[in-house]
Copies of this chain bind each other. A is one copy, B any other.
Amino acid sequence: MAPTPRRAARRRLQLPLLCLLLQGATAILFAVFVRYDHETDAARWHEGNHSNADNEFYFRYPSFQDVHAMVFVGFGFLMAFLQRYSFSSVGFTFLLAAFALQWSTLVQGFLHSFHDSHIHVGVESMINADFCAGAVLISFGAVLGKTGPAQLLLMALLEVALFGINEFVLLSLLGVKDAGGSMTIHTFGAYFGLVLSRVLYRPQLEKSKHRQGSVYHSDLFAMIGTIFLWIFWPSFNSAPTTLGDGQHRTALNTYYSLTASTLSTFALSALVGKDGRLDMVHIQNAALAGGVVVGTASEMMLTPFGALAAGFLAGTVSTLGYKFFTPVLESKFKVQDTCGVHNLHGMPGVLGALLGVLVTGLATRDTYGDGLQSVFPRIAEGQRSATAQAMYQLLALFVTLTVAAVGGGIGGCLLKLPFLDGPPDSQCFEDRIYWEVPGEHEDEAQGPLREEELDTQA
């Protein structure tokens, strides 16, 4: 069946129009609402008589750059493991994140820094927008290879808004702590993506099964992503914490947690592997679970031992999830989870939230001293007991799961709109639908599939 001219025209126009529309809309909103904050504005900064050394920017900016590197290099390349979908993995990461940074500046700005009729942006805005982009990229991992760029942009449009609302409810209304985002980023991003993937379930996906694996060098590109996520996770978790001991403790706990998840991942991967062989999928992903699991608790007095124990548990659960649970998720629950985000972000995220409940419940004035004010201000001010704060943390997990699930459901329905052009079942995990693709070898003239070819295979 040859494509109708209308369909060809639609494909050509859909992505450009959506990009231009979204960019136009955010630009107008920027023009009306977004202004420099007092640390970024020439006039107001000098009124404030800042000294550079007292300037929060200088302590936050290196963390921002680490987060920025982690989100773009890390998520982008981690998803490049598929043999014929690396252009899309890296390219759409770029597209989605660029849009999410703008849109999330607006959403979070309205909710958190709107005063004098304006949103005031500075280094915190950049960090928060990068965090939101991280959540969007986690969801992207669940639907990787099965959605077109226009669909992904619409997903981001919805998800960024819900991310902002969920975060606002958690941090501002419920007053819970979640610096590294076990709940707001990982749990939210994972379950949003998984429910969305459930709605988009493709019973005929085995038509593209032969393209769903990696090749030797695509696994190495993915390891670039893994290592960047691993090395910069201490900065990621600590970027928004209170300056001082809070930031130091968060970085330290994350560092140790990751070492433990790496060791448990190697142990479990060899243990469950065929003939004791290691599986690259586990190493690429589960080794990172230690960063996810301390996303809530690393700011607290988790202790270095607590960090090791948490990381060890997360690596174990994540590796076993890849081996035993992912197949069940697809066969029983009809959730096709391309990157296994349930194992890397879903379960470790929930565990991280529960660890946060536990460590919060154990908080005492003795352990935290005068530092209690910065970690748990509501306990320090006598508004809540440690147990009450722990219950709020637990409530926050359920709120997050609910918002993510409902949002993912709505998102899935949105992405099923008939004029949105997803890849056919036989052309999933395939760059050539969306990209001009060169051959794999110098002497190969393997041009893009012809239009007819793509469509008749559909």
A16's contact among B55, B61, B267, by CB below 8 Å, is which?
B267
Q: Is A404 an interface residue (CB 8 A)?
A: no
Q: Mark A51-94, 1 if CB is under 8 A from B, else 0.
A: 11111011101100110110011001100100110110011001
Q: Mark A28-50, 1 if CB is under 8 A from B, else 0.
A: 00110011100111111111001
Residue ID in chain B nearest A278 by CB atoms:
B435
Contact A371 B304 (CB under 8 A): no
Given contacts A43-B370, A243-B52, A369-B44, contact A276 B13 (CB under 8 A): yes
Give Cα distance in the complex from A229 to B223, angstroms.
Answer: 17
| Listed A/B pairs (30) with beta-carbon separation below 8 Å | A15-B267, A15-B276, A16-B276, A17-B267, A23-B264, A23-B308, A27-B305, A30-B305, A36-B252, A40-B248, A42-B245, A43-B370, A45-B248, A45-B371, A51-B54, A52-B54, A62-B65, A65-B234, A68-B231, A76-B223, A90-B220, A91-B223, A94-B227, A94-B230, A102-B308, A121-B252, A121-B304, A122-B252, A217-B440, A280-B435
Given contacts A27-B308, A276-B13, A371-B42, contact A98 B263 (CB under 8 A): yes
Q: Is A394 an interface residue (CB 8 A)?
A: no
Give Cα distance in the complex from A215 to B149, angstroms.
Answer: 23
Contact A245 B369 (CB under 8 A): no
A434's contact among B27, B278, B304, B309, by CB below 8 Å, is which?
B278
Contact B15 A227 (CB under 8 A): no
Give Cα distance in the complex from A22 to B312, angstroms.
Answer: 12
Contact A91 B278 (CB under 8 A): yes
Distance in Å: Cβ of A69 to nearest Cβ of chain B: 5
Distance in Å: Cβ of A12 to nearest Cβ of chain B: 3
Distance in Å: Cβ of A241 to nearest Cβ of chain B: 11
Distance in Å: Cβ of A200 to nearest Cβ of chain B: 22
Q: Is A115 an interface residue (CB 8 A)?
A: no
Given contacts A80-B220, A263-B23, contact A370 B61 (CB under 8 A): no
Contact B251 A61 (CB under 8 A): yes
Q: Is A20 an interface residue (CB 8 A)?
A: yes
Q: Is A439 an interface residue (CB 8 A)?
A: yes
Q: Is A289 an interface residue (CB 8 A)?
A: no
Q: Is A392 an interface residue (CB 8 A)?
A: no
Residue ID in chain B nearest A232 by CB atoms:
B65
Q: Is A2 an interface residue (CB 8 A)?
A: no
User: Which residues on the B side are within 8 Å of A22 (C-beta)?
Assistant: 263
Contact A231 B69 (CB under 8 A): yes
Residue ID in chain B nearest A88 by CB atoms:
B278
Q: Is A334 an interface residue (CB 8 A)?
A: no
Which residue numbers of A lie inside 8 Å of B, CB to CB? 8, 11-17, 19-20, 22-23, 26-27, 30-31, 34-36, 39-47, 50-55, 57-59, 61-62, 65-66, 68-69, 72-73, 76-77, 80, 83-84, 86-87, 90-91, 94-95, 98-99, 101-102, 105, 121-123, 125-126, 149, 210-211, 213-217, 219-221, 223-224, 227-228, 230-232, 234-235, 243-249, 251-252, 255-256, 258-260, 262-264, 266-268, 270-271, 273-280, 283, 287, 301, 303-305, 308-309, 312, 366-372, 374-375, 433-442, 444, 448, 451
Contact B57 A248 (CB under 8 A): yes
Please name 7 further chain A to chain B contacts, defined as beta carbons within 8 Å, in addition to the given A36-B301, A68-B231, A214-B438, sorted by A numbering. Answer: A15-B267, A42-B301, A46-B371, A52-B244, A102-B259, A126-B252, A211-B442
Give Cα distance in the complex from A99 to B248, angstroms.
Answer: 22
Contact A262 B46 (CB under 8 A): no
Give Cα distance in the complex from A30 to B83, angstroms.
Answer: 42
Contact B271 A16 (CB under 8 A): yes
A99, A213, A252: most-surrounded residue (chain B CB, <10 A): A252
Residue ID in chain B nearest A216 by CB atoms:
B440
Residue ID in chain B nearest A439 by CB atoms:
B215
A280's contact among B87, B252, B301, B369, by CB below 8 Å, is which?
B87
Contact B43 A367 (CB under 8 A): yes
Contact A255 B40 (CB under 8 A): no
